[in-house]
Amino acid sequence: GQNIDQPTEMTATEGAIVQINCTYQTSGFNGLFWYQQHAGEAPTFLSYNVLDGLEEKGRFSSFLSRSKGYSYLLLKELQMKDSASYLCAVMDSNYQLIWGAGTKLIIKP
């Protein structure tokens, strides 16, 4: 079966750095996406990785290792507005997105 695992909840301090991990087992791989979802709102696109390595976009970076079936989202200089759920999703061989359950990130002052 297809499976995406990510921690249910994480807590971090404003101004700090946090890493949210995602491991996956899917039938085929056509890229991994990270989305941010604030409570009561729709997800917004953060990043896309299809090749191994680190992709940096401002305060957010995403890493992928296809051989390990592993990705992480790194958030630097945390701000209170970063409190949200972070969804990991993998596109399988049929170009369908397989979604993780999301990681709720709580930022404390």
Partner 1 sequence: GAVVSQHPSWVICKSGTSVKIECRSLDFQATTMFWYRQFPKQSLMLMATSNEGSKATYEQGVEKDKFLINHASLTLSTLTVTSAHPEDSSFYICSARDVGTGEADTQYFGPGTRLTVL
Q: What would the 3-class secondary structure string for 7-57 be?
A: CCEEEEECCCCEEEEEEEECCCCCCEEEEEECCCCCCEEEEEECCCEEEEE
Please report how close the Cβ of residue 24 comes to partner 1 at its closest, in angstroms. 14
- The mark string for 52-91 relative to partner 1 (x by CB under 8 A, - otherwise) is -----------------------------------x---x
- The least distance separating partner 1 from the CB of residue 35, rounded to whole angstroms, comes to 8
Q: Distance between CA atoms of 86 and 99, rounded to whole angstroms?
A: 11
Count of residues engaged in binding partner 1, rule: CB under 8 A: 21
Sheet holding 70-75, edge to edge: 3-5, 18-25, 70-75, 60-65, 53-57
**Residue 33 interacts with partner 1 (CB under 8 A): yes or no:** yes
**Residue 31 contacts partner 1 per CB under 8 A:** yes
- Residue 51 or 80: the one with the smaller Cβ distance to partner 1 is 51
Least separation in angstroms between CB 55 and partner 1: 10
